Structure 1
Amino acid sequence: MLRFFKTLARLPMRLRRAEDRIRLIHRYQDAMWLFLQDHQREMRTMLSSIALPDPSHWRNQPPMVPGQPAANAFPQATVCRQSSFKEPYFSFWTGRLGEGLRYHRKLWEFVFICQALWERGAVKPGARALGFGVGLEPLPAFFASEGCEVVATDLSPERATEAGWAQSSQHAIEKEALRRPWVCPDELFDRNVSLRNCDMNAIPSDLTDFDFCWSACALEHLGSIEKGLDFIVNSVACLKPGGWAVHTTEFNLSSNDGTIDNLSTVLFRRRDLEALAERLNASGHKAAVFDFEPGDRPVDAYIDLPPYRADPHLTAALMGYAATSIGVIVQRGPAV
């Protein structure tokens, strides 16, 4: 009988322990379910990427051809596609930026930004330009070579070290890192380019009155989809009325539902960007219509797996999703 009462006295504690175990089991089940979903996506992506396109489609391709800036290459905000790379304007911008022509979406981002701003008349002597998260891009040097006054920004060295960018050789510690004599003569570069620290999640209030601003695949690293979209809206506030904001970022080709969020890299879905356009237009700005149509050529279909190739690399596997680059174009509305 005494044993019975002792057991009864311990029963609530045992019940609590049992409840804790049950909750722990449920957490393990949820984690396993998420793991299996990730694994399922990874397997689908791997199966899609097994066959590298025939070398004739990408090795030493596309050829450089004589070209010049196009009049209307990007009337819409669009995704990276193989078809762009063989256009004369693409060869022109590749050479103008001192880059090598190859099937790589980072090159597409640079070309998209230059061409989109050029055809809208934003790149001209005396224009004030603001670059976000510039890293080691050739864009500040190019805009400076056209007579633009460029304020290039990047994280402070301390913040870049914390985020891991300083070690990746993708962070501009000083202005000298942006110098490209083959793109911009030193005299013009020294006169027209300045570098300052800027957290894209907290843009300094004095960065205003610019004719255009840009960022190349930086806003997906701000911590969440919401923060990335907020940055685009806030970047427009840095412009004069009528000024242009052109940004590129990661686009989820696999799903308009599941995606990567709240991590060091996020993937924007169609619905995220459509909501952004509605938000901007409702505020009196003009967001270019999105063309979400993916490419249908051999290099478009190839999904590159980590560690990523230098070429071809238009679509990449990121945590089980297929992703490519997409451009965003916004014109600031009239002053209120």
Structure 2
Amino acid sequence: MDGTNESTQGHFILLGFSDHPQLEKILFVVILVAYLLTLVGNTTIILVSRLDSHLHTPMYFFLTHLSFLDLCFTTSSIPQLLYNLHGPDKTISYTGCAIQLCMFLGLGTVECLLLAIMAYDRFVAVCKPLHYMVIMNPRLCMSLVSVSWICGVANSLVMPAIILHLPRCGHHKVNHFLCEIPALIRIACVDTTIVEGLVSILTVIIVLMPLMFILISYICIVRAVLQIRSGSGLQKVFNTCGSHLTVVSLFYGNIIYMYMQPGNSSSQDQSKFLTLFYSIVTPLLNPLIYTLRNKEVKGALKRLLLCNREIGKR
């Protein structure tokens, strides 16, 4: 029986943090709390953006999709991690691993592209304010989001098919807490140079090209900001663009470090904690970044709370 058949008929063992049993107990509590807060935070952003008419703008349309992505992203990996941390069973079926890898890659791709779309939205808002609503019309916004989802689905079908069919010669212990590309490449028993090269090429296309677009957009924004003499105008730009830039820094910093060196070159423990940060901390911080730095979202929350109180009194 070849390595491929062995994998498809069996399961994988996610070693995760099993070499640090005391750390597992701490991580279980911390990750569970962070996951619940992530669910609450991102659900709140979605509800506020949809229920408050003041937030029915392109920016919050994209933010709603970002929050939905974060909900799906964490749910694709964190429940399995919590299960593995809670007891001695570290197994995941081949099908479960394939689904997890597909979702992780697909949703990650969509988020890369969505952050680039949000940068374009900020560019139009700052550099072409008088034509903003004409350019960022509902049809264009829906088209941009649809393209990002189509690209995500395409990537989720291509890469897992390649990675999961690498011969493993019976190896099924994955030194990670989820099924992700670098960890699965490490247990292959063949030369993976070509596959690693393909991963790097796709990383350039999916990660670095959107990042370059974001940087170019913000260079144009900075040039436009330097011409703004109004203090309130500057403050508004910094509030909206600052939130987006913070999210971009958190997201891209981790993903570039992981996927630009997919093989054995990086520390495996370091890779686990980076992936953990990328999987749970970033989705947890996104709602906080947008609510704490954004007066419009805070105002919408206050209006909804006051409305609920008035209804309650009646």
TM-score normalized with structure 2 length: 0.27
Which one has a larger percent helix, Structure 1 or Structure 2? 2
| TM-score, with length taken from structure 1 | 0.26
Structure with bigger gyration radius = 1
- Which is bigger in relative contact order (C-alpha 8 A, separation at least 6)? 2
